[in-house]
Amino acid sequence: MSTLSSDATAHRPIGLTAPSGIDRAAHHRLDEAWLAAAWSHPTTRVFVVSGGQVLIDDTPDGRTELVMTPSFEAPLTETHRYFLGTDEDGVRYFALQKDSLPGRMDQSARPAGLREAGMLLSARDAGLMVHAVALENWQRLHRFCSRCGERTVIAAAGHIRRCQACGAEHYPRTDPAVIMLVTDEEDRALLGRQVHWPEGRFSTLAGFVEPGESIETSVAREVYEEAGVTVGEVEYIASQPWPFPSSLMLGFMARATSSDVTVDGEEIEEARWFSREDLRTAIETGEILPPVGISIAARLVELWYGKPLPKPLPQL
């Protein structure tokens, strides 16, 4: 299945995956003296993360940036301080987990989650935000030891939780998930609508990898469970961090070996085959809403479609 070799859209970036220019510098996470010096350095920059949101602000030249401050202006916290890395100029970056975002004197900044901010921020700022949000999600959900039940404490600048009762160390969790665009012998694409989505919203199929399962097997199982379609050849395309709350999306193109669709009715309410002409017409008329935003789903569909997806035609 040659998906990428001649596709004009193949080199367009996938949201949240562009090189950030940040060295995570993991070797410093256990060096308390280095971390203390980094925190007090005048060039260090800090931002607050709370409930998956950060503050962003629009600049006079039309860019959108993370709201960051020097460490000496940052809100006080002793434990929920996460070291994110350094850039090529030696600037150190930290995130602070707080119960709420701080207010701004100028009132120009606004709170935003990754789905909005990820499309607006630079690769550096988006990479920092993804890292911080993923750590915050994990920290909030894993405060107790899964071995003995005692409360754990933060270590390694936010990248380990350590149990002082039994000595267990717990590391940030990432759940692998597969997301795939399935095509048939006629090169039609299979798109589905989840039961909780608004009417007309269609996207690629997706699901979690189960214990003891390869990702290729997971692709075939999820497609069959959700749409009743069997899959043969599977081609890996790209991955995308997806901390909602803790996934890594693994993107694939898959070739169907059957075409009859039978949805499960629990996750997928409707699934249909679309030719490129079918999809263009359905989008332009407003019959369906295609995947948009930062999700890799939009890029998978574009890879098959061969160019950016069309926009709905204006209504008269």
DSSP states of 198-228 as a string?
Answer: PTTB-B-EEEEPPTT--HHHHHHHHHHHHH-
Best CA proximity match to 200, nearest among 295, 284, 276: 284
Domain coordinates of the chain in residue numbers?
26-170, 175-305
pLDDT digits (tens, 9 = 90+) for 218-249: 999 999 999 999 999 999 999 999 999 999 99
pTM of the model: 0.91
pLDDT of res. 3: 47
Asked if residue 314 has a cis previous peptide bond (ω within 30° of 0), the answer is: no
pLDDT of res. 106: 60
Superfamily classification of domain 175-305: Nucleoside Triphosphate Pyrophosphohydrolase (3.90.79.10)
Residue 270 burial (CB < 10 Å; 0-12/13-18/19+)? middle
Going by the DSSP 8-state scheme, the letter that residue 28 receives in this structure is G
- DSSP, collapsed to helix, strand or coil, labels residue 53 as strand
User: Which architecture does CATH list for 26-170?
Assistant: Alpha-Beta Complex (3.90)
pLDDT of res. 13: 72
Q: Same topology for domains 26-170 and 175-305, yes or no?
A: yes
Going by the DSSP 8-state scheme, the letter that residue 29 receives in this structure is T
CA angle 104, 107, 109 (to 5 degrees): 75
- DSSP, collapsed to helix, strand or coil, labels residue 2 as coil
pLDDT of res. 4: 44
pLDDT of res. 5: 39
CB 84 within 8 A of CB 132: yes
pLDDT of res. 9: 55
Q: Which positions of the chain have pLDDT values less than 70? A: 1-12, 78, 104-106, 315-316
CB 153 within 8 A of CB 165: no
Portion of the chain with pLDDT greater than 70, in percent: 94
pLDDT of res. 237: 96
- Per the DSSP assignment, residues forming a β-bridge with 85 are 93
pLDDT of res. 182: 98
